[in-house]
């Protein structure tokens, strides 16, 4: 992928000595778009980011883990601005072209001396002229991408990186996505942190439209624990350094296709890596009276702790699923519901299909990935949600998060 560099280092922000400071740099200013958390308690980098992204241009992003820089008042905002200033000076670019993002514990001020001391290492070799000659992601670039992915992790057990190539009118471009997230996942726009980079030539206006569509069908369709973060950010950058250009609506659709693929896969990675999770589950609602009803029912099932614990216990307790749909606000009739676990019909027109069907459903639930289909038989609308199960490990992880 031409024109992007990634870096991840140890700056000493985390207690465990792991990578905790990352950088994305584009050799030229890139078209940019972002979406942020809808939580009314927001972190300083979100406040700053909302203003800076209005320009539709970004060239560098500095991301730290281990400290959310949230509930830190005016000082937190000054620290975010100063972090961007450190990076801008080291990279010799305008300060307003630097975005920042943070993730970690809420309430503690940023250790700014560590940011200042780490900036030379973070930005070293970034300005190499060789970046102009890059035409594809090679092994060395992937290494930088993985270092960056590691640097933004908190309770994540696995890196979340997706790279896809595609063509528009025969010209190839690349989309690389990196995300972090494991707990505090109930996005209202994105996930905790996600960064999408492409060498496609596309305007910031079209990029934002595509990003919103992709978010609605990926990060807005996942749940781990039902909590919306204070720091949720998804940022997309397109530096136009490939020969692929979005010039008309068909081109935009081609880009949306690959962007959707990248972001959906990142979303599923987050759910698979959910704190204490052992299973990835997709609930599909069919036959809803309205599109909103389909969404409401899917969301209610995905957020139900009773459903999550039954999934963990491999117990096809179907009453918990139908009850969740019933309290969702969607129009339902229990006598019309069909419920299927994989290809096993457990409920037909509101009637339980018996012990043998339940035993077969329990076998399906042993898989690490499970699809559940609930047909309301009230109309023609469908929707979905990805979620994970709840194990005792979720409680242990979050009981000891700050220790």
pLDDT digits (tens, 9 = 90+) for 155-186: 898 999 999 999 999 999 999 999 998 876 77
- Which residues lie across from 384 on neighbouring strands? 284
> What global pTM score does this model have?
0.91
Q: Which residue has the tokens 């890196």?
A: 159
Q: Is residue 39 very low, low, confident or very high in pLDDT (cuts 50, 70, 90)?
A: confident
Residue 191's pLDDT band (boundaries 50, 70, 90)?
low
Q: What is the 3-state secondary structure (H, E, C) of 119-165?
A: HHHHHCCCCCHHHHHCCCCCHHHHHHHHHHHHHCCCCCCCCEEEEEE
Q: Say yes or no to pLDDT of 140 above 70.
A: no
The CATH number for 4-272, chosen from 3.30.1130.10, 3.60.70.12, 1.10.230.10, 3.60.40.10, is: 3.60.70.12
Q: Which CATH class is domain 280-399?
A: alpha beta
User: What DSSP string describes 30-92?
Assistant: EEEEEEE---SS--HHHHHHHHHGGGSEEEEEEEEEEE---S-HHHHHHHHHHHHHHHHHHHT
Domain residue ranges of the chain, discontinuous segments joined by +: 4-272, 280-399
Contact 153, 13 (CB under 8 A): no
User: Angle formed by the axes of helices 318-326 and 305-312, to 10°?
Assistant: 160
- Sign (positive/negative) of CA torsion 200, 273, 366, 317? negative
Q: What is the mean pLDDT of residues 294-299?
A: 97
Q: What is the pLDDT of residues 84-130, one digit of tens each?
A: 999 999 999 999 999 999 999 999 999 999 999 999 999 998 876 44
Tell me which residues are annotated as active site.
Answer: 191
């Amino acid at each position: 992928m031409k024109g992007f560099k990634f870096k991840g280092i140890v700056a000493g922000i985390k207690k465990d000595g792991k990578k905790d400071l990352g950088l994305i740099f584009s050799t030229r200013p890139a078209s940019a778009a972002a979406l942020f958390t809808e939580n009314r308690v927001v972190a300083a980098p979100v406040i700053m980011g909302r203003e800076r992204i209005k320009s539709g241009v970004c060239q560098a992003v500095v991301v730290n883990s281990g400290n959310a820089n949230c509930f830190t008042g005016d000082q937190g905002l000054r620290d975010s601005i100063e972090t961007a200033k450190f990076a801008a000076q080291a990279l010799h670019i305008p300060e307003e072209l630097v975005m920042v993002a943070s993730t970690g514990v809420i309430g503690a001020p940023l250790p700014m001396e560590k940011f200042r001391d780490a900036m030379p290492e973070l930005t070293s070799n970034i300005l190499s002229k060789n970046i102009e000659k890059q035409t594809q992601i090679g092994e060395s670039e992937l290494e930088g991408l993985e270092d960056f992915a590691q640097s933004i992790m908190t309770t994540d057990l696995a890196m979340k990186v997706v790279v896809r190539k595609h063509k528009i009118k025969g010209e190839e471009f690349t989309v690389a996505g990196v995300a972090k997230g494991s707990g505090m996942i109930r996005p209202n726009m994105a996930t905790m942190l996600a960064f999408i980079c492409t060498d496609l030539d596309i305007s910031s206006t079209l990029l934002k439209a595509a990003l919103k569509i992709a978010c609605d069908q990926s990060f807005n369709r996942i749940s781990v624990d039902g909590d919306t973060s204070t720091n949720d950010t998804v940022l997309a950058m397109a530096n136009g350094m490939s020969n692929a250009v979005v010039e008309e609506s068909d081109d935009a659709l081609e880009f949306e296709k690959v962007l959707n693929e990248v972001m959906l896969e990142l979303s599923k990675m987050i759910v698979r890596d959910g704190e204490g999770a052992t299973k990835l589950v997709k609930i599909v609602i069919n036959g809803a009276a309205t599109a909103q009803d389909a969404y409401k029912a899917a969301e209610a099932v995905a957020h139900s702790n009773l459903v999550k614990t039954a999934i963990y216990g491999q117990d096809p307790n179907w009453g918990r699923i139908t009850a969740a749909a019933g309290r969702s606000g969607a129009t339902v009739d229990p006598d019309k519901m069909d419920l299927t676990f994989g290809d096993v019909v457990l409920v037909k027109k509101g009637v339980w299909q018996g012990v043998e069907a339940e035993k077969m459903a329990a076998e399906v639930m042993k898989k690490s990935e499970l699809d559940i289909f609930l047909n309301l038989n009230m109309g023609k609308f469908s929707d979905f949600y990805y979620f994970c199960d709840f194990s005792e490990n979720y409680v242990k992880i979050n009981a000891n998060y700050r220790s």
